[in-house]
A and B are shown apart, each in its own frame.
Chain A
Amino acid sequence: MNLRRMLTIFYKDARDAIRDGRVLVAIAVPLAIGLFYNATADGDPEDLTPTADVAYTAQSAALAEALRESLGGAVDAGFKEAGAGEVRALVEQGEADVGIIAADDLLPALEGGGRPEVRVLLPEGGGAGGELVASAIDPALRALAGQPAPAAVQVEPVPVGGEDSADALAVLGFDTYMVLASVVFLVGMIAVFVVPILLAEETEKKTLDALVMISSYPEVIGAKTLVGVLYTVISVTLLLGMTQLRPENLPLFAGTVVLMSLALVGFGLLFGGFFRNANQLNTWGGFLLIPVVAPALAAGFEPAGWMGALVAATPTGQGMRLAVNGMSGEEVFSDPALSFLVMAAWCAAGFGALLLNLRYRQGRS
């Protein structure tokens, strides 16, 4: 394997491919889809902070203020002052999650060590926000009475469901998730369409015969793989730039994209060799995209059964998991080492099969 020759072919391919309309379309489609989702889908990550509307009487104003301070960001609470009758009515009508009616001498009584009456109204079957506000009333009253709190309680909302995959949409938001799916689509299009088209065209036009008069098949394959990685990196950077998304963990995200590209290009070149010409590949290659893109789309929806197994076993399923982690900067999906291992295995299998196939063909030719 001669690196100089491989780079010479790579440089030629990189210049030549971009002049091919089929290549441009294959890259433009996922870019457009990514931009579309980014522009139209709901962009806010799912907010897990509970909300509560609190109605209180004028006599409870000090208590309401103390509650506002003690709740901090744990509850997204809205406060409304009203008369005692109106407070009850608001709770009954479901327009307030908590009603607070206090005695006229609330503050002096607390400061004087008395036991003033405070009535808390909670609707039956109310939400977590109202319950949190109600549970915070006692500490707030203690604070007003000058008593130190026995502990600093931090309330942290935790999503239910257990499996980490459910978090992807919540953490990133639907729009960012779909842009990531478009990134996988883009990687797939380049690996399954663009790079195999380069090889199929060389075979069809017999320029491959001229190349191997001086170079070798591995050099040609290596050059086309580099073109795939280069186009992938440029296109993904372009998509992230246009959608103004910045991965929180850039090395992880970039490594994932490159490894996913390598894992797919080997198979793309292998399948590309089965088609007689580039146009045939262009016509039928779409079917190859289904097993490429489907696991990536499914990864964020906690699939079970065979679909879950597919996500776990495919480079795009695992690649999507790592891409979510890289974009969010959090370990939304656990076991990233396994994800890398699965992609590396696909990479080795793809290129191994490709070289065996080339050797077999050369022996038969």
Chain B
Amino acid sequence: MSRAMVEVEGLRKHYGPVRAVDGISFSVGAGEVFGLLGHNGAGKSTTIRMLTGRSRPTGGSARIAGHDVVSEPEEIKPLINLVFEDQNLYERFSGRDNLAFFARLYEAPASRVDELLELVGLTGAAGRKVKTYSTGMKQRLLIARALINRPRILFLDEPTRGLDPTSARELRNLIADLSRRGTTVLLTTHYMEEADELCDRVAFLSAGRIVALDTPRELKLKRGERAATVILRSREEKTIRLDDPADATRLQGWMVKGDIVAIHSREGTLEDVFVELAGRPL
């Protein structure tokens, strides 16, 4: 892994007796897409709040691009940005005015506004008040706002929630493109397929703790079922276990006879892994 852009060590956030985040550790390399997965209340958003300087950790440490989130927040602010879970836009302003305001705050050039409107496909609606935008348009504007300062680390909190499949697909493509250009992405999502497709690594959070952390492929291989479903010419479905010598002999027999129509792998999905670890689906 390349140089760590996010380094988290024993990070904790307690609200009285409630341990929202309870000693998590991980690191995210430059250009990596890292996913935080978990149920509501698992600690994902609290972790992002602490990493973006909006909440003070109870204990542990976190560094962003080498800067401590508690003692060096001003150094971190220009380097990061966040796509919020809520569509927190100024609705009485136009899309362009929203971006122009944040461009001024981040001291970004004015040309960046048109560039981003073009990128997210909102040039035609740039002059309209945001309150007239659809959910998808607002989400695209949020993405544009989060890119206004060309962040080195982009946090995305449920970025595709409420989007139609086409818009969600476009957004995933955009995230993948940002990652290819070197932007580090840390996202939370409820969509396992999205995490599987986008993330280089994922961490499963449960009750404030990381219960698994690896690449989606490794997680699936480690935890998934080593089996396959064989469909025979008789339309019968047979399950064979890949580590059972007796099933290997049966498979060989069907193949010799030419009885096999299709074989489907029963590789585990991320959701299977998550259910196994967390006890219930997302």
Given contacts A8-B104, A8-B105, A209-B54, contact A365 B49 (CB under 8 A): yes
Given A8-B101, A19-B92, A215-B105, residue A206 in contact with residue B77 (CB < 8 A):
no
Contacts of A12 in B (CB 8 A): 90, 101
> 0/1 per residue, A1-30, Cβ < 8 Å to B?
000010011001000100110000000000
Chain A min CB distance to B113 (Å): 14
CA distance A362 to B13 in the complex (A): 13
Within 339-365 of A, Cβ neighbours of B (below 8 Å) are at 362-365
Is A214 located at the chain interface by the 8 A CB criterion?
yes
Look across to chain B and name the residue whose beta carbon is closest to the beta carbon of A205. B88
- State in angstroms the CA–CA spacing of A364 and B16 once bound together: 10
A206 in contact with B101 given A16-B93, A214-B78, A365-B54 (CB within 8 Å): no
B206 in the interface (beta carbon within 8 A): no
Q: Say whether, besides A8-B105, A213-B81, A214-B78, A207 and B55 are in contact (CB < 8 Å).
A: no
Q: Counting CB contacts under 8 A, is A152 at the interface?
A: no
- Expressed in whole angstroms, the minimum distance between the Cβ of A219 and any Cβ of chain B is 10
- B15 in contact with A207 (CB, 8 Å): no
Q: B101-118 toward A: CB 8 Å interface, digit per residue (1/0)?
A: 110111000000000000
Q: Which residue of A lies closest to B107 (CB)?
A: A4
Q: A213 and B104: CB pair below 8 A?
A: no
Chain A: CB-nearest residue to B145: A210
Chain B residues with Cβ below 8 Å from A207 are 88-90
| Residue A212 is within 8 A (CB to CB) of chain B in the complex | yes
Please, how many angstroms separate the alpha-carbon atoms of A205 and B84 in the complex?
Answer: 11
Give chain A residues whose Cβ lies under 8 Å from the Cβ of B56. Answer: 362-363, 365
* Min C-beta distance of B280 to chain A, whole Å: 28
Flag if A214 contacts B84 (CB, 8 Å).
no
How near does chain B come to A283, taking the closest CB pair, in angstroms?
Answer: 21
Q: Are A214 and B77 in contact (CB under 8 A)?
A: yes
The answer on a CB contact under 8 Å between B80 and A213 is yes
Report chain B residues within 8 Å CB of A362: 54-56
Q: Say whether B105 contacts A5, CB under 8 Å.
A: yes
Residue B52, interface by CB 8 Å: yes
At the interface, is chain A mostly helix, strand, loop or mixed? helix
Q: A5-B105, A9-B105 are in contact. Are A213 and B77 (CB under 8 A)?
A: yes
Inter-chain contact B92/A20, CB cutoff 8 Å: yes
Q: Which of B40-80 contact A (CB under 8 A)?
A: 49, 52-56, 77-78, 80
Chain B stretch 154-183: residues in CB contact (< 8 A) with chain A? none
Identity of the chain A residue whose Cβ is nearest the Cβ of B46 in the assembled complex:
A365
Would you call B82 an interface residue if the criterion is a C-beta within 8 Å of the partner chain's C-beta atoms? yes
Nearest CB in chain A: distance from B50 CB, A: 10
Q: Judging by beta carbons under 8 Å apart, are A213 and B89 in contact?
A: no
**A-chain residues with CB within 8 Å of residue B91 when the two chains form the complex:** 205
Q: Does B86 make an interface contact (CB < 8 A)?
A: yes
Q: How far is the CB of A217 from chain B (nearest CB, A)?
A: 10
Task: Name the residue of chain A whose CB is nearest to the CB of B56.
Answer: A363
Q: Which residues of B contact A210 (CB under 8 A)?
A: 82, 84, 88, 102, 145
Q: How far is the CB of A144 from chain B (nearest CB, A)?
A: 80
Cα separation A46 to B169 with both chains bound (whole Å): 78
Across the interface, name the chain A residue whose C-beta is closest to B80. Answer: A213
**A210–B56 Cα gap in the complex (Å)?**
17
The smallest beta-carbon distance between B97 and chain A, in angstroms, is 8
Assess A206 versus B92: contact at CB under 8 Å? Given A212-B54, A214-B77: no
Which A residues are CB-close (under 8 A) to B104? 8
- Distance, CA A327 to CA B215, complexed state (A): 74
Contacts of B102 in A (CB 8 A): 210, 214
Q: Are A213 and B101 closer than 8 Å at their CB atoms?
A: no
When distances are taken between beta carbons in the complex, the residues of chain A under 8 Å from B93 are 16
In contact, B84 and A209 (Cβ under 8 angstroms): yes
Residues of B near A8 (CB, < 8 A) are: 101, 104-105
Contacts of A363 in B (CB 8 A): 56
Choose from A209, A214, A365 the contact partner of B88 (Cβ within 8 Å). Answer: A209
Chain A residues whose C-beta falls within 8 Å of the C-beta of B86 in the assembled complex: 205-206
- Chain B residues numbered 186-241 whose CB sits less than 8 Å from any CB in chain A: none
Cβ contact within 8 Å between A206 and B106? no
CA of A207 to CA of B84, assembled, Å? 10
Q: Which of B15, B53, B88 contacts A206 (CB 8 A)?
A: B88
Q: Is the CB of B90 within 8 A of A16?
A: yes
Chain A residues 210 to 226 lying within 8 A of chain B, measured CB to CB, are: 210-215
Q: How far is the CA of A211 from the CA of B90 in the complex (A)?
A: 11
Whether A206 lies near B84 (C-beta < 8 A) is yes
The proximity string for B residues 247-282 relative to A, scoring 1 for CB distances below 8 Å and 0 otherwise, is: 000000000000000000000000000000000000
Bound CA span A364–B56, Å: 8
Q: What is the bound-complex CA distance between A215 and B89, given in angstroms?
A: 16
Task: State A213–B81 Cα separation when bound (angstroms).
Answer: 7
Determine the chain A residues whose CB is within 8 A of the CB of B53 once the complex forms.
212-213
| Separation of A100 and B77 alpha carbons in the complex (Å) | 92
The 9 closest A-B pairs by CB, nearest first: A206-B88, A206-B86, A8-B104, A19-B92, A207-B88, A365-B55, A214-B105, A12-B101, A214-B77
Q: Which residues of A are in contact with B by a Cβ distance under 8 Å? A: 5, 8-9, 12, 16, 19-20, 205-207, 209-215, 362-365
Q: List 24 A-B contacts (CB under 8 A).
A: A8-B101, A8-B104, A8-B105, A12-B90, A16-B93, A205-B86, A206-B84, A207-B89, A207-B90, A210-B82, A210-B102, A212-B54, A213-B77, A213-B80, A213-B81, A213-B82, A214-B105, A215-B105, A362-B55, A362-B56, A363-B56, A365-B49, A365-B55, A365-B56
Taking A214-B102, A365-B49 as known contacts, 5 extra A-B pairs with beta carbons closer than 8 A to each other, sorted by chain A number, are A8-B104, A206-B86, A206-B88, A209-B84, A210-B145
